[in-house]
Amino acid sequence: DTEVTQTPKHLVMGMTNKKSLKCEQHMGHRAMYWYKQKAKKPPELMFVYSYEKLSINESVPSRFSPECPNSSLLNLHLHALQPEDSALYLCASSQDWAFFGQGTRLTVV
Amino acid sequence: AQSVTQLDSQVPVFEEAPVELRCNYSSSVSVYLFWYVQYPNQGLQLLLKYLSGSTLVKGINGFEAEFNKSQTSFHLRKPSVHISDTAEYFCAVSRGSQGNLIFGKGTKLSVKP
């Protein structure tokens, strides 16, 4: 299995909602990542987990809360988001190179 | 600090013509370099990578790139493009782990019949 699976593929949420994005990989990779990609822009790193511990937080607002319950799963909990947080959220895992999921297209209304 | 510059934001080309997408990087340490492709409404797919060894790297879909340390470049080439190559192409350099990436701004390759 050489895939990174992200669910849901699309998500529309209001500014007062709480939702979660899920990412799963079964390649045995011990590093996992969240990236944010705005329209017509490159992906930007948000968080890095290494061996299930948060190792990098790129000054992301606290309304984004990552969680790594085990070596195969990565979640991104969302609360009180703003319309400008609308973007494609990409999960990746890596060993020699990064494998990316198909992303979750998030729209905040 | 590391950075990546993709010199062309858009490259239009006719089908079966050759193409080169340019990428320059800046780094004070040894680098790992990557090219990723993104089709509309999809995630990123690795085209090829330079980790070490031969400076000419071959990837999927007939693409290749050459690592040039003296010119700090990692240009992507394909001798004959297809309509299906129309996509956004990102050059990236790793910071520490190979998944911790800094991306260039991307080059949109448009292949016309």
Q: Is the pLDDT score of A86 beyond 70?
A: yes
- pLDDT digits 0-9 by tens, B14-59: 999 999 999 999 987 778 999 999 999 899 999 999 988 899 999 9
Sheet holding A18-25, edge to edge: A4-7, A18-25, A73-79, A64-70
- Residue A96, min C-alpha distance to chain B (Å): 6
Q: Nearest-CA residue of chain B relative to A103?
A: B43
Query: What is the rounded average pLDDT for all residues in chain A?
Result: 95
Q: Is the pLDDT of residue A44 over 80?
A: yes
**Which residues does chain A have within 8 Å of residue B91's beta carbon, measured at their own beta carbons?**
none
Provide the pLDDT confidence category of residue B95 given band limits of 50, 70 and 90.
confident
Residue to test with chain B: of A96, A97, A102, A106, most B Cβ within 10 A: A97
> Average pLDDT, stretch A57-74?
95
Contact of B106 with chain A, judged by CB distance below 8 Å, is answered with yes
Pairing state of beta strands A10-13 and A104-108? parallel
Higher pLDDT: B82 or B99? It is B82
> What Rg, from alpha-carbon coordinates, does chain A have?
13
Measured between beta carbons, the chain A residues lying within 8 angstroms of B44 are 43, 90, 92, 98, 100
Q: What average pLDDT does this structure show over A18-36?
A: 96
Inter-chain residue contact B100 with A33, CB threshold 8 Å = yes
Please tell me whether the peptide bond between A8 and the residue prior to it is cis, using omega within 30 degrees of 0: yes
**Across chain B, what does the average pLDDT equal?**
93
Nearest CA in chain A to B106: A42
Residue B41 near chain A (CB below 8 Å): yes
Chain B residues whose beta carbon lies within 8 Å of the beta carbon of residue A96: 49, 51, 98
Q: What is the pLDDT of residue B62?
A: 96
Query: What pLDDT, on the 0 to 100 scale, is given for residue B84?
Result: 96
Is the per-residue pLDDT at B66 higher than 80? yes
Picking from A31, A101, A103, the nearest residue to B97 by CB comes out as A31
Q: What are phi and psi of B83, to 5 degrees?
A: -55, -40
Predicted confidence (pLDDT) at residue B98 exceeds the cutoff of 80: no
Phi, psi of A96, deg, nearest 5 = -85, -25
Of A4, A44, A94, the CB nearest to B98: A94
Return the structure tokens found at B81: 């493009």
Average pLDDT over residues A23-29: 95
Cβ–Cβ below 8 Å for B99 and A31: yes
With cut-offs at 50, 70 and 90, classify the pLDDT of residue B81. very high
Question: Beta strands of chain B (E only): which ranges?
Answer: 3-6, 10-14, 19-21, 23-26, 33-38, 44-50, 56-58, 64-68, 73-78, 87-95, 97-103, 107-112
